[in-house]
Structures are given as C-alpha cells and as structure tokens.
C-alpha cells in the first residue's frame, strides 16, 4: 500500500465502520440480526428438506421454492457472520480481494433471488393454461430456467469486480461506511472517475432485477385479468390464495430493493445509519420471512411439515 497526495494506492486491507453514528450500540443491534439469521437458516433449511423429501412436491412451483430457500440461506450467510464479527468481536478488517468475493456472492445471490421470484410465470401458466401446465413446464424447462437464473447474475456481476480491480487504483480511504462489501459503497471510496462503474452498476441492476420486476408485474396483471373472468367465486379465491404468498414476498423484496438502490444515488437526503440499517434488512428480511409466508400460506408444505414433526414426536 502506498499513499499519494492523501490517497491510498490499492489498499490490501479494508475496514468496515459498521453503522456510522450507531457504533456504541452495534453490539445490541447485532442481537435481532443474529436472531433473524438463525430463524432464516432453520426455516429455509426445513423448507428445502420438506420439498426435497416429498415426491409430490417435485413440481415447478415447489422446485422454485426450494431454489429460493437455498438462495436465502446463501445470501444471508454471505454477509451476516462478518457483520456480527464487526458488531461483537471487533473484527472490522477484510482483505481487498476477499471484499470483492463477498461482493460477488451477495450481488449474485440477490440476482438469483430476484430471478426465482419470477416464478410468477409458473402461476401465470397454471391459471391461464391450466390444462397444459404440466406439458409446458417440463422438468427440462425448469432446469433451463434455473440454470439461466443462476448464471445470468453470476456473469453480470463479474465486470463490476474487474472494473474495480483493474481500473480503480487510488482510494480516498480504506474505511467502508457499511457492514458488508456493497458495490457502490466500495466504488465511492475511489479517488478517481467512477462514472463507468456507476453506469454499469445501474445497467446490471436493471438487466437483472428490473427485467424480473417487469416480468412479474406483467404476469400478475394477466393473472388478475384471467381470474376476474372466471365464472365461479370459488375459483377466484383459489387462484388468489395460490398467488398471495408470492405477491407478499414480491412486495417486501422489491420495496426494500428499490429503497436500497436509490438511496445510494440520493444519499445526502437520507441519514447514513438509516440507509445502512435498511440495506442490511433488505438482505436479511426476505430470507427471514419467506419460510413463514410460504409455510403458512401453502397447504401442501404446511401439511408435510406437520407430518414430519408428528412422526418424530411419536418415535
């Protein structure tokens, strides 16, 4: 590491500040975050095991749910342990390359989660083409969709890392005002022109989350139009009950996502401790809530969970 005119040349180690302004109470803030993380691990693991073990749940919607559960475990694990290390054990340092790896993992799993939420397409086909659902959503198609949802964000995030690693050499400081390696939080440390980094970050966010948001919105518009034309009220209720869990997850995920995204571009209007706290909640709340939303509202999963716990209670 070299220092030139007050700027740091390619620091080998970065230091997390945590939540600026709340350093004195971070040890207490870590308690609810840790509790949410443990519940997210248990709930999503249980959801994944239930779907994997029950052959009747090996259908497109439940396969996507299993992918969502695995993604939730991965995205929360990619940042919570390090965040708790900063809050509780005074371990704020991270190697620069390790920071880039964490950034890749977080943004990749965010993109995968956004893609999995596009399972609204499955609900659309199930309602709009109910008699052809099984022939349209074959295992081969589900495999292709799952692979594309995984590869697309994983590949799109790589140029962000290369632009930082190869193009940004001078940094104003090695202190990151955050609890994890977020793309814009790291880019803002640079003492050079970061227009390309910001532009590609915006482009990548639109390609991944923006495209998924449009697909989900259009799917549900068509679903609601189709449902309202059904003659039986019971069919209305059944269709809505099938879609409600996904709509709940959709709203809570994208509301927090849009706030976190736009707060980076209007940060002067939002206190940093609010922005960073909500950025952490954006990553942790979906993994925490998804098992409850799908476990409570999805009868097949709820019944299988009861069967598993009852059988264990009898042994």
301 or 78, which is more confident: 78
Q: Could you give the CA distance from residue 91 to residue 135 in angstroms, rounded to a whole number?
A: 53
Q: Give the tens place of pLDDT for each residue, 209-222.
A: 888 888 888 877 87
Alpha helices in the chain (DSSP H): 26-53, 60-77, 80-88, 96-116, 120-128, 133-136, 139-162, 183-187, 195-205, 211-228, 233-263, 272-297, 299-314
What's 93's domain CATH number?
Answer: 1.20.1070.10
Find where tokens 């034309």 sit: 229
Q: What is the largest CA-CA distance in the chain?
A: 74
Q: Could you give the CA distance from residue 175 to residue 14 in angstroms, rounded to a whole number?
A: 6
Torsion of CA 111, 15, 192, 159, to 10 degrees: -30
Residue 39 predicted with pLDDT over 80? yes
Q: Give the tens place of pLDDT for each residue, 80-103.
A: 999 999 999 999 999 999 999 999
Range of the domain at 160: 2-314
Inter-residue contact 72 to 40 (CB < 8 Å): yes
Q: Give the tens place of pLDDT for each residue, 148-188.
A: 989 999 999 999 999 999 999 889 989 998 999 999 889 98
pLDDT of res. 178: 92
Dihedral angle sign, alpha carbons of residues 263, 266, 271, 276? positive
CA distances from 262 to 107, 184, 265, 272 (A): 16, 11, 5, 13
Tokens encoding 208:
């991944």
Give residues with Cβ within 8 angstroms of 70, minimum separation 6.
44, 48
CA distances from 214 to 29, 142, 171, 246, 299 (A): 35, 20, 37, 15, 28
DSSP 31: H
pTM: 0.89
Q: Could you give the CA distance from residue 259 to residue 276 in angstroms, rounded to a whole number?
A: 11
Inter-residue contact 141 to 83 (CB < 8 Å): no
User: How far from chain centre, in Å, is Cα 149?
Assistant: 13
pLDDT of res. 108: 94
Number of domains the chain contains: 1
């Amino acid at each position: 590491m070299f220092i030139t005119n007050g700027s740091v040349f390619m620091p080998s180690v970065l230091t997390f500040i945590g939540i600026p302004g709340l350093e004195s109470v971070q040890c207490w803030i870590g308690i609810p975050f840790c509790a949410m993380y443990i519940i997210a691990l248990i709930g999503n693991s249980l959801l994944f095991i239930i779907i994997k073990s029950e052959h009747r749940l090996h259908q497109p919607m439940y396969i996507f749910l299993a992918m969502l559960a695995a993604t939730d475990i991965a995205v929360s694990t990619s940042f919570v342990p390090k965040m708790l290390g900063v809050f509780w054990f005074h371990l704020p340092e991270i190697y620069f390359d390790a920071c880039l790896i964490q950034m890749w993992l977080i943004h990749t799993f965010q993109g995968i989660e956004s893609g999995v939420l596009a399972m609204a397409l499955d609900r659309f086909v199930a309602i709009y083409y109910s008699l052809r659902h099984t022939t349209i959503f074959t295992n081969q198609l589900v495999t292709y969709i799952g692979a594309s949802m995984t590869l697309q964000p994983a590949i799109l995030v790589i140029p962000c890392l290369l632009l930082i690693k190869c193009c940004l050499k001078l940094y104003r400081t090695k202190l990151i005002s955050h609890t994890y390696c977020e793309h814009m939080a790291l880019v803002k440390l640079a003492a050079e022109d970061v227009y390309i980094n910001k532009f590609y970050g915006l482009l990548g966010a639109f390609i991944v989350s923006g495209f998924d948001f449009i697909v989900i919105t259009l799917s549900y518009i068509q679903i609601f139009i189709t449902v309202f034309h059904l003659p039986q009220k019971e069919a209305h209720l059944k269709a809505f009950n099938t879609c409600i869990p996904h709509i709940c997850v959709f709203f809570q995920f994208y509301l927090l996502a849009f706030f976190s995204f736009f707060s980076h571009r209007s940060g002067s209007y939002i206190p940093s401790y609010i922005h960073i706290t909500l950025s952490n909640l954006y990553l942790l709340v979906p993994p925490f809530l998804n098992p409850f939303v799908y476990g409570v509202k999805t009868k097949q999963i709820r019944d299988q969970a009861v069967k598993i716990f009852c059988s264990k209670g009898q042994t």
